[in-house]
Amino acid sequence: MTGGRGDSNHPPEAPGGSSGSRAQASAHGDANHADEEAERESLAPDSLDRRSSERLDVTWLVDCETDDTFLYASITNISEMGIFVRTTQPLSIGTRLTLRFSPPGSDGSYVLEGTVQWVNEVRPLHDNPNPGMGIRFVDLTPDDRERIVDTIRTIAYIRDAPVASN
């Protein structure tokens, strides 16, 4: 993973990184290393998550386009600030792109600008269940932001609605 950000399956490292901890674990044996790993994993996910907006898990198709690249992928979560695009071919951090997607059941499609903020690279021969890239929306109009927020609220409401029993 690159850029110091994480996704829902791979939270970012705690401030200060972990290279010192690894060096200390090597010097003091595997028992200390296991204790440090357990301590890092026991931290509350919210303490490691730097996102300021609630994310909603979705599975929507998205077209990501730059001046010289066209990528057809899927959105796996969305917030009012951005999306996570699952792909084995993530673009470079800092890449600006045009996003086109149509949430099921929504009125019309979205055409938004975004910037790749972080990347979860594919790692051959390693466990990497969620390769892709985190994209932050940029230059949103007030109308676009309102539409995104309304779409997220609608989906969250539908998912939380009680199921009627017969």
Q: Residue 113: which CATH number?
A: 2.40.10.220
Residues 86 and 69: their CA atoms lie apart, in Å, by: 16
Q: Which of 5-9, 130-134, 156-160 has the highest mean pLDDT?
A: 130-134
Percent over 70 (pLDDT), the chain:
64
- On whether both 35 and 67 belong to a single domain, the answer is no
- On whether both 37 and 80 belong to a single domain, the answer is no
What pLDDT does residue 119 have? 95
**Using one digit for the tens of pLDDT, what is the confidence trace for 4-20?**
344 444 333 333 333 33
Query: pTM for this structure?
Result: 0.64
How far is C-alpha 47 from the geometric centre of its chain's CA atoms? Answer: 16
Q: Is residue 1 part of a domain?
A: no
Residues 100 and 70: their CA atoms lie apart, in Å, by: 11
Overall domain count for the chain: 2
pLDDT of 123 above 80? no
Q: Are 140 and 99 in contact (CB under 8 A)?
A: no
Question: For the residues 41-56, what does the mean pLDDT come to?
Answer: 51
Helix axes 30-42, 19-28, angle to 10 degrees: 150
Q: Which two tokens stand for residue 93?
A: 């951090």
The residues pairing with 40 across neighbouring beta strands, listed in sequence order, are: none
Q: Is residue 43 part of a domain?
A: yes
Domain membership of residue 70 as a residue range: 56-160
What pLDDT does residue 107 have? 74
Question: For the residues 65-71, what does the mean pLDDT come to?
Answer: 95
What pLDDT does residue 166 have? 61
What pLDDT does residue 53 have? 67
